[in-house]
Structure 1
Amino acid sequence: MTTDTLPPSEWVRRWGHLIPDRPGGARVLDLACGQGRHSRWLMRQGHQVTAVDRDAQALAGLAELGPWVRPLQADLENGPWPLEGREFEAVVVTNYLWRPLWPRILVSLAPGGLLLYETFADGNASVGRPARPEFLLQPGELLRVCAGLRIVAYEDGFLNHPERFVQRIAAVNAGPAVTAGDKAAPPARYPLHGAG
């Protein structure tokens, strides 16, 4: 099975229903998208996807998807941030960790926007790659990074198929803070998957 035929992450499928509705489809950033398994799935959900990766060959297959998926080649680790000033209703990141990008990722979330993040965690060296600490989340790291967001779901542990240690989070940018004199908005409702 090649990367482009892999199903989307179970985590992305489980929490993707929380991506805010927007006329014409929500704007979604698929960061370090590889060959675009999540971009394709997000497009099928009716979203407009910006798919970013440094590998032009991996992005080539996304050009056929038309205006719903916009591939963007960029070296996220050695080049400038290619999305300055842009906001998205959702940011999706899987199997990728480059800590200097955290501030950029967080500022890219529009008010009400959803962050879906899943990658390898401490302990993964015992079962395979990646094994270097700079590519593994430390215990509670996603919770600390997302402290300013509303945490909807979080997991940190071991998965069997394939064997790996992961940390994953679904978190919502609650938007601008209510200031004195502003009327407090009712709390947002985040329906659980499958809830009636």
Structure 2
Amino acid sequence: MLLSPSASPAAHTALAPSPWICRWTHLVPDGGTVLDVACGSGRHMRWFAQHGHPTLGVDRSPEAIAAAGAFGQTLQADIESGPWPLDGRRFAGVVVTNYLWRERLPDIVAAVAPGGVLLYETFAQGNETVGKPSRPDFLLAPGELLAACADELRIVAYEDGFLAEPDRFVQRVAAVRPLQPPVSAASGPMPPAPARHLLKP
């Protein structure tokens, strides 16, 4: 479910890109295509287009897609009720912000190309104490985002906790798919970097 359905496309476009996305943009291979899942009106598509990346935005809202089309290719699709529309396609960057539909987490991770990066940030448990979203369906459990990535991707950075102005609880990850799989299955997944926690003052 889109977490901000009441926001107008124009208002969403005017929002600055997430600082987390900006911080880790350099991990996306130069010139690689970036997929923005639940792209809204394209604030992150605009950011990556400005940094030389072709972009593809997916959203179920025709109004959002119409606005996002100014920054790259778009695809209107309901990824919650219908099939994953990008089966078999992989991208240099996959971006998700303020969106959670658990059934799609494996598809989102699988969409990261070898050498590509997943940049994901959304609300976590605890957010119900400070505002919306407050339903458990839309709040990540402790360590859930990390666990969704760790078997296939190398964790570069991970944060889980409280942020102020506006007050919110979030999890966010930057994770890279290795160019080659581990030498043997016995070696297991690559170990994640130590988790960095944001602490509520």
On whether the aligned pair clears a TM of 0.5, the verdict is: yes
Corresponding residue to 2:113 among 110, 115, 121: 110
CA-based RMSD? 1.3
Corresponding residue to 2:35 among 23, 29, 49: 29
Q: Which runs of 5+ in 2 are unaligned?
A: 1-9, 185-201
Post-superposition, which runs of at least 4 consecutive aligned residues in structure 1 deviate over 4 A?
A: none
Local SS of the residue matching 1:14? helix
Corresponding residue to 2:154 among 143, 150, 155: 150
- Separation (CA, whole Å) in 1 of partners of 2:70 and 2:149: 35
Q: Which amino acid aligns with 1:176?
A: Q
Q: For residues 111-190 of structure 1, what are the structure 2 equivalents within 5 Å?
A: 111-148=114-151, 149-179=153-183
- Separation (CA, whole Å) in 2 of partners of 1:151 and 1:64: 32
Corresponding residue to 2:63 among 53, 57, 73: 57
Q: Which runs of 5+ in 1 are unaligned?
A: 181-196
Local SS of the residue matching 1:2? helix
Q: TM-score, normalised on structure 2?
A: 0.83
Give the match for residue 48 of structure 1.
54
- Separation (CA, whole Å) in 1 of partners of 2:118 and 2:45: 15
Give the match for residue 29 of structure 2.
20
- Residue identity over aligned pairs, in percent, reads 58
Aligned length: 174
- Separation (CA, whole Å) in 2 of partners of 1:64 and 1:52: 13
Give the match for residue 44 of structure 2.
38
Give the match for residue 17 of structure 2.
8
- Separation (CA, whole Å) in 1 of partners of 2:114 and 2:90: 9
- 1:9-51 CA distance string (max 9 Å, x none): 0000000111012xxx211100001111001001101001010
Q: TM-score, normalised on structure 1?
A: 0.85
Give the match for residue 70 of structure 1.
73
